[in-house]
Structure 1
Amino acid sequence: MENEVEHIGGTLRGRVAIVTGAGGGLGRSHALMLAGLGARVVVNDMNAAAADQVAAEIGATGGEAIGFAASVTDEPRIGEMAARAMETWGRIDILVNNAGILRDRSFAKMTVAEFRDVVDVHLMGSVICTKSVWEIMREQRHGRIVMTTSSSGLFGNFGQSNYAAAKMALVGLMQTLALEGEKYGIRVNCLAPTAATAMTHGLLTPEALDRLSPEFVSPGLLALVGDDAPTRAILCAGAGHFARSNVTLTQGVHVGTGKGTAERVVADWGRIGDRTGEIVPDYGFAQMERELASGPAAPRVKAVGG
């Protein structure tokens, strides 16, 4: 990673980034990566010493950073963090919502409190942090926000119903904020990392830990936060491999309405799920537009959304 940062060292010069949960692991790697690309970084973590240590690491290599201790669920403190960034550097360009916790347990054994704790940190923590910078980014007509989703949310994972629910919720948040932020120059994307961090301790072999170093994920951030960043992208990253994930819609089948509809849905299940010609909708109303446009007496549909 160091060689790559050195090669493209000024790409984010002048930008200001906030990285949550950056006192160690993936967040630390993100913060160092962004700083290496020229960004000034607010290093957030619940552990003040850890946040300050990462900020000091950045400073020692010639970068600019400040540590800020706060839980992402603490709305007043997160507001203070955004204010501190503005007081120090006058703008906020990038927010990487990385902070998270695990409370893994099968759903049968999981308590509601364990479910709520994970949703509060991952989902509501990202909402609180994003809300703290949203108006700033709107006013400066530039912003890059990265939500940290997961393959557990996208595809499911045994024992992680709470984590998976929170992580998939962040995809929905991204989809809508990307639409609302588009005319203000705000681009919102998701990163689905596979990395060895404190949250995966004891779950992986030493060989896997070596291949899944967080520093092999962080280079993908540049594609999501640079001037030419896309919006509404889900980037899956791990072990130096990068892929895109999408929420798609099949062509489907018009089976009609009225008596016997339920049976026809069952009978046509194969065709309904046929992925040939599936699309990635531009907005949620695309499903309704397709449904209204299907059938022998299709009404005229006015485009909605955008």
Structure 2
Amino acid sequence: MSPRATLAIIGVSFLFVLLPFLAWQASWFGRPLSDAQLTHSLSDADHPRNAQHGLVQLGERIDRHEPGTARWYPQVVALARYPEKQVRLTAAWVMGRDNTSQEFHSALLAMLADSDPMVRANAALALVRFADSSGRAQIHSLLELQVIAAPQSGTLNTRLKVADIVRPGTLLAHISRNVSGNNPGGQNQSAGSNQGGKGSTASATNSDAIGKNEKIEVRSDVPGRVERWLVADGASVTAGQPLLELAPSPDVAWEALRALYLIGQQEDLAVVQNFTRASGDMPRGVQQQAALTLEAIRARSGS
């Protein structure tokens, strides 16, 4: 069977990493929209949840093969550059629904360079439906441990323990330090560290008074499970220092393995092999998918 035929049978069922996160900020996006409402939602630059609602509704229309959906495609491509990452995430998911659109294909390729790891992941998975393996390295990385680094120097106060479940936005730790100067206006700051494309996000609420303690929140960009802390609670850390490792979540691992079933190469064999072993942290379905993926990669490579 040709690769494109295989994609038509298997790739069409990809759910993507996005789906667990569609209910953003307690919003529900299942309310149907008229054509006029859909056009308005997709062009509502001031209200990101409205834009996301429109994207979800358009994705459902595409899945139902409703005629005329292509008229909104330019708006979807524009939203792929929206400042709010949840909107970009949803745009990547929508563009994966129609693997015949060249404008979607081109936009997804550009999204592989997005600043957010979840957006990059969704773009890479969506590209598989276009028989495009350009995101293979990104998909491979979904199966690796993700290293979260310190956004600033200070004292580490951990919030989670080993084996705790992490979702995008989960608070992992605080880093505190003594502030010796004024922060004009007491404005919030944000800082981030990217460890080989494996991200950490930190946000700070600063004190505007001399000698006060400043706490930086260290939050995860990605879902997963705390594999191990690399620094002890209460220890001093420096900016950029690795703090902890996150193992992939079962949903992310399963989607990545399904994608590599179609586009995986010999370089992916070792990381896939790790998931063929029985583990209390992964459902049996992940183990079974890993075995199928290994078989498919070996068949393609003749190994």
Common fold: TM-score over 0.5: no
Task: Specify which structure has the bigger relative contact order, considering alpha-carbon pairs within 8 angstroms and separated by 6 or more residues.
Answer: 2
Structure holding more strand per residue: 2
TM-score (norm 2): 0.24
